Structure 1
Amino acid sequence: MIRILLLIIGYIIGNIETGYIFGKLNKMDIRNYGSGNAGATNTLRVLGPKAGLIVFLGDFCKSLIPCLVVRYIFRDNVSLSYMYMLYIGLGVVLGHNFPFYLGFKGGKGVASTAGIIMALDIRIAAVCLAAFIVIVAFTRYVSLASIVVMIIFIGMSHLLVKTNYGFANGSSPMEFRLLVVVIGFLSIFMHRANIKRLLSGTENKIGKKV
């Protein structure tokens, strides 16, 4: 029941669609422009760097803060605190990607997943950030960088699970592993159209005017 409750709470929080709200403040529905999603990258393309940063921070914090709160509440059981943190984080990403009041058309969950990664392990977050910056700098493809970051997140989480996150005492980390895979591949799934465009060479590069 706690797991389900955390998913529901996370989903409700995730429905705070920063990009949509910021767009409405500028008298527009951001989903009708650019790539058609309500995330930070599309906001960056349509409304500029300042707007993109604001939306990114909003989507980042709406998962980071609940994840840290859950970790603190259940701090007496380390492995369970990380597990529950992933549940509320997954709920936030689902709410962000599929907001019920917007016809289930939201963003792609990259910024919100980044908040989960930061709450989980600052080492993984640092590697993911470095990889993201390098890939964007050399290719100018935000989508490619986002996909690679999710793969790094999944891989490093699996490598560290036996010596971190409270599972070293013999308890099974299988549920933890599964949640990490679901969260990571959910974002990759949301980039399926981008993957097709990357393969065909028609993907938009960052900085391209909309």
Structure 2
Amino acid sequence: MTTTTAIILSIASGYLCGSVPFGYLAGKLKGIDIRQHGSGNIGATNAIRVLGKGIGIPVFILDMVKGWLPVWLAAGWIAQTGATVEVISIGKVLAGFAAVLGHMFTFWLGFKGGKGIATTGGVLFGISKAGMLGGWIGFLTFLFAFRYVSLGSLAAAVGVPTAMAIQMYREGQWDFVMLGFGIVVMILAFVRHRSNIQRLLAGTESKAFTKKKPQP
């Protein structure tokens, strides 16, 4: 297998992994369409709100795994071709980005999916521990301060490229491909959360982990 083939395979695998709608499938196991309840989102936050923590937390973990797995596979496949460390890094970023896009625009549900926060966390676990740490710090700080998951998610999106840039500056080594991934994901997070931003400004956004019981 050539390096180009390995990268293309990594991107395809990333999208396919990311497109598995675990929140939607979990809702179906409970006999409901999660898109018709809560915020209408298929992601882990709405799964926790609608289906409860017992189901929502596993959905969150699975959404992270489907971001990490393509990155791990890409690293192995591309390394086997004898590619340089820089090329392997690029392949991992592309596979991870494809996974995030797969979650946001899953073909299983008419290219309508979640907001990609948990999946991005999984990708970052595979490519940038500093970015993941920055995201968690931003998320938890704003979540506990204001009790809005959406606001915490937006803070996490900002924290990722910020932490990446700080680490690169301190080490004197800039990886603009990885930093670009962080910036693009941040922009996508704000775009996908635009309805939440409107509700936050209007004061109508739901507080964190408020469970709403759906009608079967």
TM-score range (shorter-chain normalised) is 0.7 to 0.9
- Structure 1 residues 76-87: aligned runs within 5 Å: 77-87=84-94
Match of 2:204 in 1: 202
Alpha-carbon distance between aligned partners in 2 of 1:209 and 1:180, rounded to the nearest angstrom: 31
Alpha-carbon distance between aligned partners in 2 of 1:39 and 1:58, rounded to the nearest angstrom: 10
Question: How far has the Cα of 1:40 moved from its partner?
Answer: 0.2
One-letter identity of the residue aligned with 2:52: G
Counterpart among 147, 150, 153 of residue 140 in structure 1 = 147
Alpha-carbon distance between aligned partners in 2 of 1:113 and 1:14, rounded to the nearest angstrom: 10
One-letter identity of the residue aligned with 1:183: V
The DSSP-based 3-state class of the residue aligned with 1:51 is helix
Identical columns (%):
35
Match of 1:58 in 2: 62
Please say if 1:30 is aligned against 2:34. Answer: yes
Q: Which runs of 5+ in 2 are unaligned?
A: none
Match of 2:106 in 1: 99
Match of 1:42 in 2: 46
The DSSP-based 3-state class of the residue aligned with 2:72 is helix
Please say if 1:178 is aligned against 2:180. Answer: yes
Is the 8 Å Cα contact of residues 96 and 109 (structure 1) preserved in structure 2? Answer: yes
Q: CA offsets per residue over residues 55-78 of structure 1, 9 Å max, x none?
A: 001110011122122234445622
Is the 8 Å Cα contact of residues 10 and 70 (structure 2) preserved in structure 1? Answer: no
Alpha-carbon distance between aligned partners in 2 of 1:33 and 1:77, rounded to the nearest angstrom: 47
Is the 8 Å Cα contact of residues 68 and 85 (structure 1) preserved in structure 2? Answer: yes
Specify whether residues 181 and 134 from structure 1 end up closer, same or farther in structure 2 by C-alpha distance, changes over 3 A only. closer
Q: Which runs of 5+ in 1 are unaligned?
A: none
One-letter identity of the residue aligned with 1:115: G
User: How many residues of Structure 1 are paired with residues of Structure 2 in the alignment?
Assistant: 205
Question: How far has the Cα of 1:80 moved from its partner?
Answer: 2.2
Q: CA offsets per residue over residues 140-184 of structure 1, 9 Å max, x none?
A: 1001111111111012223334676xx94xxx8443333322222
Normalised to the residue count of structure 1, the TM-score between the two structures is: 0.87
Question: How far has the Cα of 1:199 moved from its partner?
Answer: 1.5
